[in-house]
Structures are given as structure tokens and as C-alpha cells.
Amino acid sequence: MRSASELPANASAAAAAPIPQPKGLPWLGNLLQLPKDGLAQALLETSRQFPEGIYQLDFGGRRVPFVYSADLVAELSDETRFRKLIGPPLSFLRAGAGDGLFTAHQDEPNWGKAHRILLPAFSQRAMKGYFDVMLEVANALADKWTRQGPDADIPVADDMTRLTLDTISLAGFGYRFDSFTTPELHPFLAAMVGVLSEAMGKLTRLPLKDKFMREHHRRFEQDVAAMHQLVDEVIRTRRHAQDGGTGASDLLGLMLNARDPVTDLPLDDTNIRFQVITFLIAGHETTSGMLTFALYLLLRHPAVLAQAYAEVDRVLPGDTVPQYAHLAQLDVIERVLKETLRLWPTAPSFGVAPYEDTRIGGRYAIRKDQRVVTVLMALHRDPAVWDRPEVFDIDRFLPENEARIHPHAYKPFGNGERACIGRQFALTEAKLALAVILQRFALSDPHDYAFHIKETLTLKPDGFHLRARLRNARERLLVVMPSPAGAVADADAQATLAGGGEPMHVLYGGSLGTCQDIAEQIAATASRAGFDAKVAPLDAIADALPQQGTLVVVAATYNGRAPDSARTLEARLDSADALVRQAPGLRYAVLGCGNSQWPAFQAFPKRVEAMLAASGAQAIVPRGEADGNGGFDAAVDAWTRNLWSTLGTRQVQTDAAAVSVRYLAPDAVRAAVLPAAARSMTVLANEELVSDPTGLWDFTREAPRGPTRHLTVRLPEGVTYATGDHLAVYPRNADDRVEAAIARLGLEGEALVTLTAQHAHVRHLPLNQPVTVRQLLRDFVELQDTATARDVTALHAITRCPFTRSQLAMWIEGEAAAQRFDQDIQAAHVSVLDLLLRFPAIELTLEGFLARLGAMRPRFYSIASSARVSPDVVALTVGTVSGPAWSGVGTYRGTASNYLMQLPTGAEIAATVRTPNPPFAPDADASKPMVLICAGTGIAPFRGFLEERATLQAAGETVATSLLCNGSRHPEHDFLYRDALRTWEDAGVVRVFQAYSCVDDHPHRFVQHVLWDAREAVWAAFDAGATLYVCGDGRAMAPAVRDTLIRMYQARYASDLATASDWLTAQMQSGRYRQDVFN
């Protein structure tokens, strides 16, 4: 059978691609394949057969395309090309609802007239006027459940129908159904269900068969008449009240009295009848379905239910009477409703038709006036848009995630001007209803309900019952005072704290300061919320876990093992006699930080999580994953918001200035500069390692290496190191950046300030002592860190200039904001200071600037010397980072590398010695060879390794010949430590395999190429007990080396990829493959 798109209306349509269609029967098409019940679910299942996102069905000669691809729906949503088309089964309702808003054709005058008259009644502002009625009906529902007792099986769909019908009838028309006073549903509901069911039945019947369904037609007409009779009575009652001077200004009053602002005409009585019926049907049927689905999903997802309870306990503690302003604080409940409508949009489809012949997707022809249906359940599960589309995940609608959703992938209320006019009414009513239910009742499903959907024109779970027991005070997560809500409480309530003095242990495990910074920010927020919050390294729980309170862990992984501040804990976990850890009274939450590019991403946070779970402690929220490869800040923000929501705390003043500043006289005592953890060390030499590359190669092929320095630094007395250790250097910001910040803030560099603060997360600042502004900005904060979305939001909030606000808003507001932020700010590494310099109208104080800056972090450099040769002097190999700024403005210079490059002999630096974990040290058995793989400054630790082996050889020990696979640009430019390597190669300490990326005709461009060429020698060394070491770039070089080693194994053993990968993983775990890589 030919599809509609194969029947050309013109030459263009003839060339279109056919719309795919399930195989059908002659004349009947797909009509007999459609179920009498469950059509929407059948359309969802059919959609899964057509990954194109479009298919068509033949309804006995009437062919209808169905669409679910978000990209195609985007085209159908273009109201310049398509209009809403009222077709079956919706068109069958016109017998009862006529040209009401829901069933009117686009060109019918009454649609535009009613839309314009009624639109103000559904504004966000208008919702406040309906609130008291909504609350009255929600309380009537709760009172009914209380009377029934905890053992009553509550028919959820029926009671949600009572709730929503009473709400719309009372709020909109002043009519009381009083549905909760009788066990039976109101006769209007029976008539309405009959009309909806018959409309769906007609859709799946052949026209000839339908002509003989006279009994169905008679019942349909009776049901329509019953609905009309009730509505006519409602209208008559109101007119009588108006005549007596007691009319209300609700929806019905508006319809009876208002005039269309365009035509200056009122609505006629017949159309008012149709509008009232429309609102009584559409205004309650879909909302009751949404609430029924939401309660079902909450009971199936106890973690989300716990979040919702926590939020209600925070916003509506005890017997707090809900007020309208409280609704804005119900973020979790709002996300529950949004995700519910994603999975189960209660109005499951809508149809449109083009004004002219057209194509969608560039290939599918749609004729003028041909109906095209959007299948919402399939659209909301479009795998091209939604991750794990079948999973109920309310975090999809966290602000930062919702901003990234395809703009046409979520349409539970329809599209454009024909979208549901009562959307805000429905969401307001539903949020309040869920809040009242959760405030009062502990819900359960003792019958383990088997999910089944009942379809009329809308969807609802069928036969779903729950039980509702009144909650007691002990069940609440936290007992708090009422949250401020506009006029809800007096001003003193705003100072109420939610933590109640509960202990909170916030522990960090990291090497670079990021985890500690996050931990201290969490502790500061917790302190403001009333918790007794303390920050400590993870090693604080090495011997014992807290037995009560809350434990929050922020941890990273270093080369698959614990970071610096968690090594003792890791050792305890590794030991055979590890302490028995039981803490059933403890609650915990874990945030894992790192970079998904590394194979061990989240390894240690997962281990900590497993330890806590095994102790009997209770998880508060799922473990978070903050990925430095993308979306790190957004992930941290989302996880912490979830944590506060679940704990029942409100993130109070998180972006308030953390520091208050008091300016002092210039003659005040000069502040101490060095961080307490650092020791002062002396630079003995600072030498250039690379030579002038002029004339060696065409620089368009590859730029020369930047200045690369060899520094020697004397350690202070009492400080030692081992070969392979790191030196952690605390740098200073460049003078030009410091002066730019001083000038931009309008300060004097030599002015003395004293900083005070109440929270530990500003530990990096010199508190309670005088310090110059110049020294403060030079030594204590990171001026070049990339600005976060939170930073931009804060700057936007304090900016008064309309132009600047609009520029900043591009990165934080609107559907494309996240993408623009990633491209313009994140990828370009634009700092807060860069934004201040770009936008001079931003008015930021020193306090505000400090609040946006992180602590000056130490930079880790592999020590390039042997402790046997120079136990009190370390060597460093420092490649400077300098080049055109990715932002396109000026030159970017790395903070630490440029600081070190300029240090003269005799300069003092602040630094500490750090041992990597796992260790990155030469094999203690010098009779075993080593395989050393590196490029550029990655040679630094291997210089120390080989210097040590040469010393041992000179002392008479047997030293095996190691292999060095090294990468440089050109031998006359950046073959680092070439003379020393040649000396050691002549002595048999090492055999060098060299790659040059800028030498024409050289056989090996990169280190992975020379590694492959040297594979026989590498295997010989490995068989002799060698350990493989890799040092250098972690983004390109290290993965390429891993891939080459896997390929070498495959070639040697004729194995498959999986086996070779498992071999390399085993070497990592056993310590025979070690890497020390950097970005």
C-alpha cells in the first residue's frame, strides 16, 4: 500500500522519502492492529520500531503521520508553518464541548475571543487569588484520609479526581461538588467519563460498524445532555447571584461580564456553556492523572520520596499552614511533577496540520491540512535527547540540566498559543496538593500495585490504591521553625536555623586543594543553617567513624589510589587487620571529584562509599560525580542542592561575601606572607634548557617549545626527599595581573587591610592581621581561575547597567545559556578578573572580589634529581605556559611556570616535599631494568631515576640497562638533558630511543611511534622484571602510550583487544605499570 507521501501533490512531493509504516491489511490498513484500549501505549510501542522518529498509520484509508523525534517536533512547533488541527478523537468531543478552548478550530472566532478574555485569569499573578480555594479542597482531601484511618485502601485516581474537580469548579465557577462528603463520584463525572470513553471508542471503529452502535450513541447523547444540564444550572445560578449584586470575579464571572479587547464583543451563552464544560473536563482530568502518576512514582522511588518529605519538613514544618509564598520553595516537588509528566504526559498527543504543502526533516512530505500527530510519550523518551529515558530521574530538571534539554523535547502541555492555558493552575494545584499530603501522611503501598494504565482521552494508573497514616513528629528529618515566605512569618523567622546544632563532619581527600575548598564551602553553608560543622582531612576517620550526626565526604583519586589527605585511611582499608567499622547511627553523603579521562575516575570515592555503606551508616543522597572533563561546577552545585534539600536545610546566603574588610592606616604592621604549611626554600640556579629554533623547521608545522628552565633549590634543614618525589610550589600571581586587579577595583596597592571572617572556608586568607592589598592579591588567591556560572550569576545580580546585565545574562539565562557559557567562558578560560576588565560597569567591592576567588593552590613538579646524589638540593624541570589567550584578548601566562621562570639566584620560594601515591620511584633492585616513557618535561623524574642508577653503578653495584623512549621536537632545540643522557648511555645505564616531531624524514614523530619500533627491546626488558613508567601529558601522550602497549601485547600473543586491555590493567594493579601524568 502506498503511503501518503508517495502520492504526489506536486513534483516536489513526488521526490520525497516515503514515511515508514507498519504492514497493514488491504482497505483496513492498520485499523485492526490498534487495541480498543491502550491506544497511547500502542503508539509508544510502535514508535520504538521506527528510529527515524516518524511513521504513519492507516486508519481504514485515513493515513496519519505520527512523530516523536525532537528535531521533527521542532518543525511541527513552528506556528508560521503549522496550526493545531482538531481531529479524532478530540473532534468527537465537540458534541459536548463545541467551540470551547480545547476543541475549537483555529479559525473559529470564539477561540480567539475566549482566549483573549480568559488569558489574564491564568497568569502567574492570578494563581495567588486561587490559592485559598485550592488549599480548602486539599485540606478536605486530607481530612477524608484522616477519617478513613491508616488501614483504608485509598483509590488514588478517584480521590485525585475529586480533588481536582472540586478545585476547578469552586475556584473557577463558585460551584461546590462537595465530592469528599459522599463515597460515590458525582454524576457529572460518570457522564464525563462516558463521553471520553465513547470518543476513544469511535476512533478505533470502522465507520460502517460505528453506524450500527446505536446504544453507544444513545448513551453518549444522554451523557452530553447531563453535562449540559449541570453546567446550565451553574450559569443560571451565577446570573441570579449577579442580578442580586453578589456575583464573584472568577472565571465564570469573567466570561459573563468581560468583553474581548480586540472585537469588543462578549462571549455568548452557548459558548460560555462550552467553555465551562471544557474547564471542568480539561481542568481536572489531566491534573488528577498527573497527581496519581506522581504518587505512584514516589512510592516506587523511596529516595525521591525522602527528598520530597525533607523539603516539605523544611518549608512546612509541624502544622504550618501553607501559604502561597511557600510554593516557590517546593523545588523537589516541582521536579517530581515535571519528571512525572515527562514519563506519563496525561494528554498523550496533539495534532497539527500545515498551512501549505511542506516537508519536515527535509525529506518527509506533508500535504496542506494533513493531520500530523506528536506522540508525547515517545517524544519524552527520544533516545537522541534523553539519557536513560525510562528512568525516573527528577534531577533532569535541575536548572543547569533543564537548560540543556532540547527546546522541543518536552511538551506535556502542548505547543505555542494552543498550549494548555491552565498550565500554571494545574502545577500550582498539584504542588500544593502533594505538599499537604506529604506534610500530613506517611504513604505506603502494601499491595505492591501492578502498574496498569487506563486510557480515555487522558491517562491514569488504573486500580492504584495506597494507605495513608498520619505522620508523627519523630518521623521528620529535622524539626525546624517555619521558613520565611513573604508575609508568612515575621522578620525574626528569617534568622531561624535548621540544623539544630547537629554535628556535621565534612571531610576532604584531595591533593590540589579543590576538594578542601568544596568541603569548606559545604561546612560554611551548614554552619549558617545551624549545624555544628567541622572540616578535616579524610585521615581523621582512619581509626574510627563518628557514631552519630552527618558525615560529608568530598574526595578525589590520585592515579587510582587515595590522595594525600587520605593515605592513612587507605592504609587501614588495605591492611588485613583493618578496624571493624560500625556506625549505624551515622548518615553520610559522598561527592567524588576527578576527571573522567583517567581510567581510575571515582575509584577512591567509591571505596569510601563502600566502607560507609558496610558500616551500617545511612546514605543521604546518591554519590555525586564532579567531572573536571566537563560540567564540574554544575555537578557540584546540583549535588549540594540535592544534599541541602534532602537534609531539610536551606542554602542560606551562599553567595554572600565571605569576608568583611576594615581598612587600616598605612603604618600598621606588615602581614606575614607565607602559608603556614609551606617552608621557605632557596633558588640556587635557574637555567634555560632549550635553544633558539630559528631555521630548524617550518613553525607552521608545530610551534617551538616555550622557555623551559632547570632550577635547583636548596631544602631547609630537616626537610628530606626521595627520588621520584614531587615539590609542591606555592606560586605568586604575575605583577601585571595584580596591578590590573588593583586598578580595576579602584584600590591603592600599598593600602593595608585586615580581614575577618566567621567561616573556615576562607582559611587561605591572612585573617586578623594587616596585609597590603597588593600582597593579598599576589600571594593568596587565584586570579586566573576560570569563572563559574555561579560567578557570572553573582556579577549579574550586582550589576545595574542594562547593557552589561544583558551581556552577562546570555551566559546564565535562556535555553542556549549553558552552551554559550561553555564556549565563551569555560573553553576560553575567562576569569572573574577578565570579566571585570571587559565590563567596567560591574561594581564589585574587594569583599565581593575575594568571595569569587579560590585559594592559591600549590603546583606539583616532579623532582629531577636523585636523593643519593644531592639529598638537600632538588632539581626541577619547568616548562613555561605562555601564548595567546584562548579568550582572544591578550596573552595567557601560566601562574606558576612564569613565576618560577623569572626567579633569580637567591630568591626564596614557599614549597613542600610530597611523595606521590601510589609511589612513582625507581625500582629498588638496580639489577632490574626500567622502561621509561616520556615526552617534553615529562623527562624530569627519569633524570633523577637515571642519575641514581649511574651513582649506584659508579659505586660498584650491578645496574641493568634501562630503556628510555623520549619525545622532543628537534635535537638542536629541546632534547632536554641530552649531554647527561649520552654520558649515561655510554656507561650502559640507559638505552635511548628518541622521537622528533619536527625533523623531516625522521622515522618516529611521537613517543608512541618509537615505543612501537622498540617493542622487542621493551619486551626483553619486561621479561627481565622491568617496570613500565610513563610521565608527561595525560590528554594525548599517555592514552597513546597505553594504546600502543595494548597493541604490542596483541601482536606478541595474537590476542583480542579485551584480553590485551585486561593485561595492561593487571600491570597497573600490580605496580608494574606506573604513570605520573598531567594536563
pLDDT in tens, 124-151: 456 778 899 999 999 999 999 999 999 9
In this structure, the number of other CB atoms found within 10 A of the CB of residue 895 comes to 21
- Residue span(s) of the chain under CATH 2.40.30.10 come to 655-782+853-919
Q: Check if CATH label 3.20.20.70 holds for domain 497-647.
A: no
Segment (H or E) for 156: helix 156-173
pLDDT at 353: 94
pLDDT at 386: 95
pLDDT in tens, 810-840: 999 888 888 899 888 988 889 999 999 999 9
Residue 423: pLDDT over 80: yes
Report which of residues 88 and 500 the model is more confident about.
Answer: 88
pLDDT in tens, 607-638: 999 889 888 888 999 999 987 655 677 788 88
Residues 286, 340, 640, 723: which is the catalytic one? 286
Q: Which of 427-441, 667-681, 885-899 has the highest mean pLDDT?
A: 427-441
Nearest to 143 by CA among 151, 135, 133, 131: 135
pLDDT at 761: 57
pLDDT in tens, 1025-1040: 999 999 988 888 998 9
Residue 667: pLDDT over 50: no
Nearest to 536 by CA among 561, 503, 582, 575: 503
pLDDT at 680: 85
Cα dihedral sign for 349, 350, 356, 362? negative
Residues 204, 279, 420, 780: which is the catalytic one? 420
- Residue span(s) of the chain under CATH 3.40.50.80 come to 922-1078
pLDDT in tens, 698-748: 888 888 898 999 999 999 988 999 999 999 999 999 999 999 999 999 888
pLDDT in tens, 484-539: 333 222 222 223 335 667 889 999 988 666 788 889 889 888 888 878 889 999 99
pLDDT at 3: 36
- Residue span(s) of the chain under CATH 1.10.630.10 come to 110-330+419-470
Cα separation, 459 vs 293, whole angstroms? 9
Segment (H or E) for 1075: strand 1073-1078
Of 116-120, 176-180, 205-209, 572-576, minimum mean pLDDT range: 205-209
pLDDT at 632: 72
Residue 857: pLDDT over 60: yes
Q: Which three cell numbers stand for residue 154?
A: 485509598
Report which of residues 190 and 1062 the model is more confident about.
Answer: 1062
Q: Which three cell numbers stand for residue 542?
A: 582512619
pLDDT at 559: 63
CATH class of 655-782+853-919: mainly beta
Report which of residues 122 and 299 the model is more confident about.
Answer: 299
Buried b (16+ CB within 10 A) or exposed e, 839-853: beebebebebbbbbb
Q: Any catalytic annotation for residue 286?
A: yes
pLDDT at 5: 34
Determine the average pLDDT of the residues in 401-417. Answer: 89
Residue 480: pLDDT over 50: no
pLDDT in tens, 455-470: 877 899 999 999 999 9
Do you find a cis peptide bond into 1003, omega within 30 degrees of 0?
A: no
Q: Any catalytic annotation for residue 801?
A: no
pLDDT at 283: 76
Spatial contact of 963 and 1018, defined as CB atoms under 8 Å apart? yes
Helix (H, G, I), strand (E, B) or coil at 604: helix
Determine the average pLDDT of the residues in 38-58. Answer: 93
Residue 193: pLDDT over 90: no
Cα separation, 199 vs 207, whole angstroms? 13
- Do strands 752-756 and 660-664 pair parallel, antiparallel, or not at all (unpaired)? antiparallel
pLDDT at 987: 95
Determine the average pLDDT of the residues in 967-990. Answer: 94
Residues 413, 425, 604, 849: which is the catalytic one? 413
Q: Which three cell numbers stand for residue 687?
A: 637555567
For 774-907, strand residue ranges (E) read: 859-862, 873-879, 882-884, 891-893
Mean of all residue pLDDT scores within the chain: 85
pLDDT in tens, 95-108: 888 888 888 888 88
Q: Which three cell numbers stand for residue 1008?
A: 608512541
Determine the average pLDDT of the residues in 969-989. Answer: 94
Beta bridge partners of 242: none
How confident is residue 659, by pLDDT bands cut at 50, 70 and 90?
Answer: low
Determine the average pLDDT of the residues in 673-677. Answer: 51
pLDDT in tens, 881-918: 876 655 556 667 889 999 999 999 988 888 999 888 78
Q: CATH number of 110-330+419-470: 1.10.630.10, 3.30.390.50, 3.20.20.70, 1.10.390.10?
A: 1.10.630.10
Determine the average pLDDT of the residues in 547-552. Answer: 91
Residue 995: Cβ-neighbour burial (10 angstroms; 0-12, 13-18, 19+)? buried
Residue 585: pLDDT over 90: no
Q: Any catalytic annotation for residue 464?
A: no
Q: CATH number of 922-1078: 3.40.50.150, 3.40.50.300, 3.40.50.80, 3.40.50.2300?
A: 3.40.50.80
Determine the average pLDDT of the residues in 635-664. Answer: 65
How confident is residue 662, by pLDDT bands cut at 50, 70 and 90?
Answer: very low
Of 76-85, 742-751, 762-771, minimum mean pLDDT range: 762-771
